[in-house]
Structure 1
């Protein structure tokens, strides 16, 4: 089974589990009267829709090229990540504002029995999906799957925090602090969303770097080191390197200036240099766009 097939299978399983969690959150949110559970369910529904989009992009990337998209479909990956991260950020911000409004209006009564049962089951599901996804992605190394694993971690942390808060609030009932229990649900939601907003925002910033073709420092340093070694060993005059990362793909260009009196200038010689560079760069050739050019005129490298 190829990495692309395993990635798609993992995303399909995640979609099914996310839909179950999302539907449960909506139902239990209504039954318990909990804003935080309803937010948890909506978060899962949005995450499932984004995972569906990620699955579609994964299938397109596996095709590599088409007549219309001759440079491949890699550019769709950061677009999906940007849309996903932006949507989750807006959802978290809206939930935070709603929670603050509920706190200011006197809180919200909650049926803790339903809430605790829901939270315990969902924490177990999220933990299982997080561990399975992380183990698989150690071999697949997919950014789409990495985002999905991050989504399960976020969902699990949200629900775990809800579980702790609901248990504490349930213990307060019948005590002198019972009057504070209506504030538990919106307070927990406000704290959670405020803490979670930076997580999808990081995904947004990383996706923007890919979309704007910002050169990754590590890839740039590696390309320069490989180019310098080739120049030294083969007696070329100079070299220019250009790198970019778009989703899982890496784009690298090497432009060498060859002396007019260079001893080896056959196509076979230059092809061997290309092989050396490809081997030194490494990685999956299917996710790498490598261009190696040679010229005797420096004007063609700038």
Structure 2
């Protein structure tokens, strides 16, 4: 017998979210296909190593997002006795793999950049590469805007990782455009010796900016896979929502058991009351109110109240 999400998320709303998420992911896959084709052609024409690395990253991204489009309907299925966590852990695994891929690409880029710097920098058609990266950055910015508008009401870890990946693309492309334009200007001055190193410096700055977010997402996904408790900030938010509601009914919370994986979260609040009599109606109403307020913060959240045994 399946446990429906009931008050957590009406069926119609879930279907709307599913369709919205699939459309955004399909847009991302289509954009990645176009980017990979354009970057490969330009990389072979200009002999630009940075553009070739962009193509490799976007190619891996394309394959991951194609898989995400196929997996997304699973994440909206209700939990059941056979699958007590639904397919939320699959989503956590996917998020961990995706963020690990981002970290590995950053590591590979850093090693490549350092090797290029040690070998004398990069000498390419600075103007052409600058214009190409600027064009990619502007297109990526448009896609990022569409994703933000379409996904701001969808509680999806996959869309969060994808939004982060596109933000990294915007930063990287704009940074490379500025770097190669700067190199083009410098090569005609007394600082011409700096020109081959400009793009590597900017690449390292972009990696340094994006690394903390990707690492946080990776370790958060790993915690979700093993059903570890969320970070202290989430626990404090849960307590801040539940405690005033329960105390209004004369219930005193003594322990919070919070589990999160993927986009789903379960909150069990253990409590005790004064006296030996517990009103089931009061307990049911308090649980309903706590559920409502928690779902305003986390869409896929289930809350239960558990009387503490003496």
Q: TM-score, normalised by structure 1?
A: 0.83
Secondary structure in structure 2 of the residue aligned to 1:245: strand
Listed one character per residue, the Cα deviations across residues 47-76 of structure 1 (whole Å, up to 9, x for unaligned) are 223323433443211123367423211122
Contact 1:169–1:184 (CA<8 Å) still a contact in 2? yes
- Say yes or no: does 1:292 pair with 2:305: yes
- Say yes or no: does 1:280 pair with 2:293: yes
Any runs of at least 4 consecutive aligned residues in structure 1 with deviations exceeding 6 A, and if so which?
Answer: none
Listed one character per residue, the Cα deviations across residues 258-300 of structure 1 (whole Å, up to 9, x for unaligned) are 66741635xx5543343233233333897123333346x33xx
Instruction: Name the counterpart of 2:264.
Output: 249
CA distance in 1, matches of 2:256, 2:91: 24
Contact 2:130–2:179 (CA<8 Å) still a contact in 1? no
- Say yes or no: does 1:224 pair with 2:239: yes
1:254–1:174: structure 2 CA closer, same or farther, 3 Å change rule? closer
Secondary structure in structure 2 of the residue aligned to 1:106: coil
Give me the CA root mean square deviation.
2.9
Which 5+ residue runs of structure 1 have no aligned equivalent? none
Contact 1:99–1:186 (CA<8 Å) still a contact in 2? yes
- Which 10-residue stretch deviates more, 153-162 or 200-209? 200-209
**Alpha-carbon deviation of 1:117?**
3.3
Give the one of 82, 87, 93 matched to 2:96. 82
1:133–1:156: structure 2 CA closer, same or farther, 3 Å change rule? same
Aligned runs of 1:255-270 on 2, under 5 Å?
255-257=270-272, 261-262=276-277, 264-265=279-280, 268=281, 270=283
Contact 2:230–2:258 (CA<8 Å) still a contact in 1? yes
Instruction: Name the counterpart of 2:117.
Output: 103
CA distance in 2, matches of 1:252, 1:114: 55
**Alpha-carbon deviation of 1:191?**
4.3
1:294–1:32: structure 2 CA closer, same or farther, 3 Å change rule? same
**Alpha-carbon deviation of 1:163?**
0.9
Instruction: Name the counterpart of 1:27.
Output: 41
Aligned runs of 1:1-302 on 2, under 5 Å?
2-65=16-79, 68-178=82-192, 180-212=194-226, 213-225=228-240, 227-229=242-244, 232-236=247-251, 239-257=254-272, 261-262=276-277, 264-265=279-280, 268=281, 270-283=283-296, 287-294=300-307, 297-298=309-310
Q: Aligned residues, how many?
A: 295
